[in-house]
Structure 1
């Protein structure tokens, strides 16, 4: 087990990574940077480098990590933002623990992402009025299929790499088992994660805020009803929301 408490949340898009990052960032031991590799990061954080442009090689990734971890003890990044060769460089950095966050239901992941792309509602806190979901347009079925295949391939590649190179130095977390309406289950899961990271447990108030689906998640069961071609989607891929 590493002694360092520096860590990376390395996540699928639409896997609850922002909620997890905000929760862990509320621990007094953690200084969290959310999505430093996003193209808009330097716009959101004036004075910060535009790492999306800067990082074009494994060596530049090393430089970026050195800079970022001078200011922060943790980052949350998404698996699709750089090539696997560049991300391998980050993942094999030995003083960084890895929280590898994925989502089993790739159909729901793809639809969630495509709906968010239409509405620009990426988090529950962005939602000002529910009427926006009544204006959804049909979702291209081939686009769903392409996204499912792409994310599945990424997960397979990075799962293999972490097993072969970071055994005992990463946790593989699943969206489906991370967020629960059972508060005690959430407390237990976060305690396990914090013990692995070597950081203090966030407050119960924050665990309720970021982990209970009723507090942290948009009710997509209702949202999906507004997709005009939902019947065609389910005919091809199966029932979307179980």
Structure 2
């Protein structure tokens, strides 16, 4: 490990050590609720949901302050957990507007709020007082929908939410999907060894499963 890498690792450990010590002594202090919200603008002519983040268009992910990060106000870096909740707000908000349009329900406005409870002991490898590993990830996510609908269409609100839940891609994904992780390349960056049409120029580079990969020993596939 280079001197710079060693220094960076030591800096991170120094930031995280007091947090880990605190989480061991006070487990409840590791419980943090992240939240995100978005507005359904009735003046918009497109089916959109405006996120209330105040962040720049270009987003950079970083560690949450509870994991040793600097925080958005100091570094401009967003916690990926916040970004996950934002994606749910955005997807559900757009889906609500699309379904409302299909059902003929004029929305006069609305707000989508998502809150997620996260125990940072899990991602930081801090065990509970009994010595058991703490689960990594959100313990619970709450989706709160506030809609401004005229009296004539209020009776359709529950159906609107039911259908929006059914057709919201991010919500249905969070309810359970297998995520497959593969290590595609280890080594220095190099030009993609593919032709313009996206296929390998060398038939011998075709893999057994039909996908072409550069014939290079730096490429590692995990099955």
Report the TM-score range of the alignment, normalised by the length of the smaller protein: under 0.3
TM-score (norm 1): 0.22
Please give the TM-score of this superposition, normalised by the length of structure 2: 0.23
Higher strand share: 2
Which structure is larger by alpha-carbon Rg, 1 or 2? 2
Bigger share in helix = 1
